[in-house]
Amino acid sequence: MRNGRALASLAIGLSCAAIAAYFVIFPQDVLDAALKGLSIWWDVLFPSLFPFFVISEIMLGFGVVHFFGTLLDPLMRPLFRIPGLGGFVMAMGFASGYPVASKLTTQLWDQKVITRTEGERLVAFTTTSDPIFLIGAVCIGFYHDVSLAPVLASAHYGAAVVIGLMMRFYKGSSDPQDELAAPLVKLHNPKPLLYRALQSMHRARMNDGRSFGLLLRQAVESSFRLIIVVGGLVVFFAVILETLALSGVLAVIYAAVAALLKLLALPLPLSDGIVNGFFEVTLGARSAGEASGVPLVQKAAIGAVVLSWAGLSVHAQIASLVSRCGFRYKPFLFARAMHSIIAFILVLILWNPLQGAREAASVWLPVESSESAAAFTKLWSFPAAALTLGALLLGFSLLAVTVSAITSKTRTR
């Protein structure tokens, strides 16, 4: 075991030394790659993620998360074996994209309302792309075909729900480490669900105790630190990808992936999207959309794989967030791999049944150029994500209230 760790440390150290050497040999190429990564962070990630980081912190401080958590508890526990608070995290993750759900999960861990196993389940299936990136950047900007939106969205988010149902069986027996989290004990409460939700919100607000000014300042400070980490990782992986290309390592990986695609009878031009998407989701989605001579359904399937895998850049962001909580990386890695496979299959299954939805999307969202896609993303990213979040929370809450009412009637009989 020690020898294996020593060899791994040696390999990492030598790799870092080799990468540093390429920084010296090709300074201009490395600088251009870093500027490209910085542009992605500043133009896309900072304006779309930072407001949600701040708002999520404020909502936690005011107990809004606990309000929806109590409402959603009758729905989330039977389906996913996580507290109702996970429903809010799920809605936030689906609406605003990675890594917002992971940040919320770590905050719930800090408040000792979820266990380690529940946190690992939650992070595993709530790490998704946001709808605006999926529609504006991928479908419109990279694929130049907005009709792909219904298929890609259904496959991507549908696969995430399937992963959530699968992860409910993860750690079926109790984990000794879960006792450290001291989760809230869920007992049967005869009071109405809405009353319990308001009571939970009030109790959480009283326990927090911070004034709005202090809460806002601390929310901005912690969110800014996190968005800097996200930007640094994006720039780092952009440079790493360029270094691998300069060293010829990327060409070897391309050849291996091309051989695999040939074995699976898939077009070889898709190898660019797969390799780039393995490292960075934006580059992978762009490469998949630009693949020439490939049927659209296959390009869409690879795009779903790239969005669901999310790239090592996002993996590093998630790992940096959850590592302090003791969450294990293997469940997340397994979930990302299964998410990619299921999303790929769902695109192929849903392609023909969603033909009508694809035609409707072309009528209602007639945007085809990359310039229009950029404008669409910048103008509508935050409002549309907020509306999506509200719709998800409303739908989940209504469903949870219905389930709770049915359960209560069954108990009284």
Query: Average pLDDT, whole number, for the chain?
Result: 81
* HSE toward the beta carbon, residue 106, CA cutoff 13 A: 20
Quick: pLDDT tens for 155-191. 999 999 999 999 988 876 555 444 444 344 344 556 7
How far apart, in whole angstroms, are the C-alpha atoms of residue 388 and residue 95?
6
Cα separation of 27 and 82, whole Å?
A: 49
What's the pLDDT tens digit per position in 296-308? 999 999 999 999 9
- Record the tokens describing residue 375, joined without a space: 């404008």
The yes-or-no verdict on residue 55 having pLDDT over 90 is no
Q: Does the pLDDT value for residue 44 go beyond 60?
A: yes
Residue with tokens 């308001």: 198
Q: Is residue 45 over pLDDT 90? A: no
Q: What's residue 141's pLDDT? A: 80
Q: Pick the residue with more confidence: 235 or 163? A: 163
Q: What local confidence, expressed as pLDDT, does residue 379 receive?
A: 45
Instruction: Say how many C-beta atoms besides its own lie within 10 A of residue 265's C-beta.
Output: 6
Residue 185 has what pLDDT? 39
Is pLDDT of 153 > 70?
A: yes
Non-local CB neighbours of 381 within 8 Å, separated by 6+ positions: 47, 48, 130, 132, 136
List, in sequence order, the alpha helices (H) in 248-269.
Answer: 249-263
Q: What is the pTM of this model?
A: 0.80
**Neighbouring residues of 365: CB distance < 8 A, sequence distance ≥ 6:** 135, 140, 146, 149
List the one residue out of 297, 348, 326 whose CA is nearest residue 176.
326
Q: How many helices (H) and strands (E) does the chain have?
A: 19, 0
Burial, 348: exposed, middle or buried (Cβ in 10 Å; 0-12, 13-18, 19+)? middle
Q: Residue 193: which pLDDT band, with cuts at 50, 70 and 90?
A: confident
Do 94 and 388 meet the contact criterion of CB atoms below 8 Å apart?
Answer: yes
Report residue 346's pLDDT band, with 50, 70 and 90 as the boundaries: very high
Alpha carbons 348 and 345: distance in angstroms, whole number: 5
- Cis ω before 47 (30° cut-off from 0): no
Of residues 30 and 159, the one with the higher pLDDT is 159
CA-CA distance, 218 to 198, in Å (whole number)? 25
What pLDDT, on a 0 to 100 scale, did the predictor assign at position 156?
95
- Structure tokens given for 337: 């791999």
125 vs 188 pLDDT, higher one: 125
CA 374 centroid distance within chain: 21
> CB burial class (10 A; 0-12, 13-18, 19+) of residue 383?
exposed
**pLDDT bracket for residue 372 (50, 70, 90):** very low
Rounded-to-integer distance, Cα 233 and Cα 314, Å: 8
Q: Is the pLDDT of residue 66 over 60?
A: yes
